Amino acid sequence: MATPATAVDAPAQEAADGYFSPLAPAKHVLLATFKWGRTPVAVPARVVAEGDCAYFQTWSTSRTAKRLRHNDWVQAAPCAALGLYRYGPWLDATARLLAGGEASQVAEKLTREHPGRHGGLASLARRFRGARPAHYELRPCGGAAIRTDRGTTGRPRQT
């Protein structure tokens, strides 16, 4: 006999059913953004996945945020802590900068999911230099599919 689902199990079940379900159990995600010439640059990030959406934070003055201002297409894959080893498929997504109430809700979700990660002396030093946290929402690309090949150059292929 199956046990009834509780309110605590709801986010886990929602993440398991969506496009970003391979990212839900991972502690770190390798996030690949693209330079002007379509050269990929991958950095590890902490992500919260919920169904067909995923959220992450970067700093407004970071290179990742600057690349996302010019090209909103990203790829994400579960990885090891330093991003040296990727152990899942690349997922094609589109990043959207959040503002206002949406950004504060995402900040709370990230803090709840990854406690102690978004504060401390490093955060304080960045704020003194004028950086602000920038929260992004990842959505699946239109017609995108999970890529199993190793290449990351070019737009997602239609499958």
From the CA atom positions of the chain, what is the Rg in Å? 16
Q: Does pTM top 0.85 for this prediction?
A: no
Lowest mean pLDDT among 14-18, 68-72, 73-77: 14-18
- Position 100 pLDDT exceeds 50: yes
Which residue, 8, 119, 152, 132, is CA-closest to 59? Answer: 132
Report how far apart, in Å, the C-alpha atoms of 40 and of each of 12, 80, 145 are. Answer: 31, 18, 18
Q: What is the mean pLDDT of residues 36-51?
A: 89
Q: What is the mean pLDDT of residues 57-80?
A: 92
Structural tokens at position 152? 């990351």
State the average pLDDT for the chain. 78
Distance CA 22, CA 15 (A): 9
Q: What is the mean pLDDT of residues 90-115?
A: 87
Q: What is the mean pLDDT of residues 58-74?
A: 92
pLDDT of residue 27: 82
pLDDT of residue 56: 92
**What residues have CB less than 8 Å from 92, skipping those under 6 apart?**
73, 74, 75, 140, 141, 144, 145, 147, 156
pLDDT of residue 111: 80
pLDDT-based confidence at residue 30 (cuts at 50, 70, 90)? very high
- Position 119 pLDDT exceeds 70: no
Lowest mean pLDDT among 25-29, 90-94, 106-110, 112-116: 112-116
